[in-house]
Amino acid sequence: MKLGDYVRICEGVHDDQMPDDSRDGLIVELVGQYGWNRDPDQIVVMFSNGSFLKFHSSQVEVIQSESR
């Protein structure tokens, strides 16, 4: 996973701030467990309703990868 990837949040994961009609969004930030010097295991996703939510990488599925 990398910045700009289009992702879907896995079924069974819920957050009240996610859009009701959509579980997909763009990765805008990757965060390591203990700060910036670790391998990223947390993903910040921007949704169509303007929410920015953080998920564990195991809760996120890549739909389309941004080529760089």
pLDDT tens per residue across span 13-23: 999 999 988 89
Q: Which amino acid is at 68?
A: R
Residue of 30, 22, 40 whose CA lies nearest to 5: 30
Residue 35 bridge partners (DSSP): 32
| Distance linking the first and last C-alpha atoms of the chain | 12
Every domain of the chain and the residues it spans: 6-64
Q: What is the pLDDT of residues 11-61, one digit of tens each?
A: 999 999 999 888 999 999 998 766 556 678 899 999 999 999 999 999 999
Residue whose structure tokens are 């309703």? 49
- Establish how many alpha carbons lie within 13 A of residue 14's alpha carbon, considering only the half-sphere containing its beta carbon: 3
In this predicted structure, what is the pLDDT of residue 39? 76
Tell me the CATH architecture of domain 6-64: Roll (2.30)
